């Protein structure tokens, strides 16, 4: 934690100057090489953090700084004096955009870049835009946050990678869409869908990972002692054509 505090003090004093960026890069490198840990993640969850890549680790550092930069007395809307989620999110987005721009991880014309490097837009919804070229092993996504803060959206990718490493997401950049919404740009293995998973197959998949149904067997939400899974419906869980196993493509995942 001392190293993070040193980075936070450097951002306070100098913003994202070269010396501060070097501190962040060294911290990222030490995490990826197993020499240090990021607070709040267990040792097992760190595997998901490393799979998510340097861009996510750096953005998580910046998001942590943004959250900690609020003073408890500065929020007039919270009865307990803590900042509101929208304030945290706004600050995290602002600083992540600044950091991404100075480190070459901001893609203003992301649509054309993704089409050129990953293929045509094959799916689009409120949560993600998906690009794919036939025969490639990965898809690229512009992923919008459906979480209360950007920091929690980054945590969700880490937790997804920890729980479902066969569809691990690797973040390489950030952008804003035409509505001004921050989007996380990532790659993910392409899964050939044999069919959609049944409720029983999804139950089995998560039971093996220590989860139980959180809706009396009727819903698509699951919980463990530490993590909650939501939106685990068949459209998000496929039976893989190659392995024949249930594979989660995407879901809502967060700390309890």
**pLDDT tens across 11-65, in order?**
999 999 999 999 999 999 999 999 999 999 999 999 999 999 999 999 999 999 9
Range 165-169 average pLDDT: 97
Range 187-208 average pLDDT: 95
Instruction: Please tell me the CATH code under which domain 110-189 is placed.
Output: 3.30.200
Q: How many residues does the chain have?
A: 256
Angle at 203 between CA 201 and CA 206, to 5 degrees: 110
What residues have CB less than 8 Å from 184, skipping those under 6 apart? 56, 142, 143, 144, 145, 153, 154, 157, 171, 174
Range 71-98 average pLDDT: 76
β-sheet bridge partners, residue 210: none
Predicted confidence at residue 217, as pLDDT, reads 61
Question: Coil, strand, or helix at residue 183?
Answer: strand
Predicted confidence at residue 74, as pLDDT, reads 45
Predicted confidence at residue 75, as pLDDT, reads 45
For the purposes of burial, counting CB atoms within 10 Å of the CB of 175, is it exposed (0-12), middle (13-18) or buried (19 or more)?
A: buried
Residue 79 has pLDDT above 80, yes or no: no
CA 226 to centroid of chain Cα atoms: 17
Cα separation of the two ends of the chain? 22
DSSP category for residue 250? -
Predicted confidence at residue 104, as pLDDT, reads 97
Write b or e for each residue in 88-118: b if 16 or more Cβ atoms lie within 10 A of its Cβ, otherwise e.
bbebbbebbbebbeebebbbeebeebbeeeb
Residue 107 has pLDDT above 70, yes or no: yes
Predicted confidence at residue 82, as pLDDT, reads 80
Predicted confidence at residue 1, as pLDDT, reads 64
The model's pTM is 0.93
CA 118 to centroid of chain Cα atoms: 20
- In the chain, CATH 3.30.200 covers 110-189
192-to-144, 179, 246 alpha-carbon distances in Å:
23, 32, 12
Alpha helix positions (H), the chain: 2-14, 18-32, 45-52, 54-68, 85-102, 110-118, 150-163, 199-207
CA 19 to centroid of chain Cα atoms: 26
Angle at 109 between CA 106 and CA 111, to 5 degrees: 110
pLDDT higher at 125 or 224: 224
Per-residue pLDDT tens digits for 210-249: 999 887 666 789 999 999 999 999 989 999 999 999 999 9
* Averaged pLDDT of the chain: 92
Q: How confident is the model at residue 72 (pLDDT cuts 50, 70, 90)?
A: very low
């Amino acid at each position: 934690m001392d190293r993070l505090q040193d980075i936070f003090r450097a951002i306070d004093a100098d913003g994202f100057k070269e010396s501060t960026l070097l501190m962040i890069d060294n911290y990222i490198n030490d995490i990826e090489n197993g020499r240090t840990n990021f607070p709040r993640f267990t040792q097992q969850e760190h595997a998901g953090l490393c799979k998510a890549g340097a861009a996510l680790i750096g953005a998580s550092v910046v998001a942590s700084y943004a959250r900690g930069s609020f003073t408890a007395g500065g929020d007039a809307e919270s009865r307990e004096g803590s900042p509101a989620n929208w304030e945290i999110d706004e600050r995290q987005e602002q600083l992540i955009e600044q950091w991404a721009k100075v480190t070459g991880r901001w893609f203003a014309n992301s649509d054309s870049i993704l089409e050129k490097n990953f293929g045509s837009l094959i799916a689009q919804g409120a949560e993600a835009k998906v690009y794919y070229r036939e025969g490639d092993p990965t898809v690229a996504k512009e992923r919008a946050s459906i979480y209360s803060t950007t920091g929690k959206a980054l945590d969700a990718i880490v937790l997804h990678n920890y729980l479902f490493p066969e569809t691990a997401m690797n973040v390489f950049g950030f952008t804003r869409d035409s509505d001004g919404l921050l989007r996380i740009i990532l790659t993910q293995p392409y899964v050939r869908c044999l069919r959609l998973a049944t409720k029983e197959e999804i139950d089995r998949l998560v039971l093996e990972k220590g989860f139980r149904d959180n809706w009396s067997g009727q819903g698509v939400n699951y919980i463990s002692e530490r993590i909650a899974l939501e939106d685990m419906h068949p459209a998000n869980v496929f039976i893989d054509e190659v392995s024949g196993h249930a594979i989660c493509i995407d879901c809502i995942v967060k700390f309890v």
